[in-house]
Structure 1
C-alpha cells in the first residue's frame, strides 16, 4: 500500500535528540500534558477531535493520522470524525472568505491613492 508517511521518517527524530534535546523534552512534556488521559475540563475524546480538525485545517497528514486514531481509541465515532472534518472545512472556507476581503481593501486603498 502506498502511503504518504514513510515509516523511516521517524528516524530523523535523532537530529532533535542530538541537537536540541532540551527543546524536544519540553515539547514532549507539553504534548503529554495537553493529551493527558484526564484533562482539566475537556474529555480526551473532545481534545483529540479538536486535534483532528486542526490537523485537517493545517493539512498535516501526520497529525490527521495520529489524532484520528487517538480520537477513535478515546471513543469517537465516524460521525464525530466526520463532523470534526466539516468544522475544519468550514473554518478553512471562512478563512478564505475573510481574507478574500483583503483584495477589496487593498485595491480600494490603491484606487484612493490614484486620482484620475
Structure 2
C-alpha cells in the first residue's frame, strides 16, 4: 500500500518550490484557483468532484491526491467519490479504472483518519 500522506507532502513541497522559482505564474494560478473555488451555481463540493473526475481522466496523480483530499475535507462521501470515478471511467476508459483505484485507496485512507 502506498503512503499517500508522504506523497501528498512531497507534492506540496514541490509546489512550494515551484512557487519560489516562478512566483508570478504561481501567484496568478493561486488567484485563479481562489476565484473558482467558491460556492456559486455549482457548489465547492461539486466543483471538487468535477476536478477529481478530470484528474482521473487526465491521469494526474498529484491532482488526484489534492482533489481527493479537498473533496473529503468538504464532506464528500465515499459513494460520491465512487460515482465520480464511474463518470471518469466512462470518459477516460481503462486508464481511468487504474487511477480510479488510486482515488479509492486515498479516500479510504483519509476517511479512516477522520
TM-score (norm 2): 0.66
C-alpha deviations, 1:59-106, integer Å up to 9, x for none? 11222122122212222211111000000000013xxxxxxxxxxxxx
Q: Which has the higher helix share?
A: 2
C-alpha deviations, 1:28-68, integer Å up to 9, x for none? 110121112xx221011110110111111111122212212
Cα RMSD, aligned residues only: 2.2
- Which structure ranks higher in relative contact order (CA pairs < 8 Å, sequence separation ≥ 6)? 2
> Per the alignment, do residues 12 and 48 of structure 1 end up closer, same or farther by CA in structure 2, a change over 3 Å counting?
closer
- Tell me the SS of whatever aligns to 1:42: coil
C-alpha deviations, 1:7-48, integer Å up to 9, x for none? 344434455334321111000110121112xx2210111101
* 1:61-72 → structure 2 map (5 Å cutoff): 61-72=61-72
Where structure 2 has 5 or more consecutive residues not aligned to the other structure, the ranges are: 94-114
In structure 1, what is the equivalent of residue 74 of structure 2? 74
TM-score (norm 1): 0.65
Structure having the higher Rg = 1
Looking at structure 1, the residues matched to 16 and 82 of structure 2 have their Cα atoms a distance apart, in angstroms, of 35
In structure 2, what is the equivalent of residue 20 of structure 1? 22
Where structure 1 has 5 or more consecutive residues not aligned to the other structure, the ranges are: 94-116
* 1:27-106 → structure 2 map (5 Å cutoff): 27-36=29-38, 39-93=39-93
Aligned length: 91
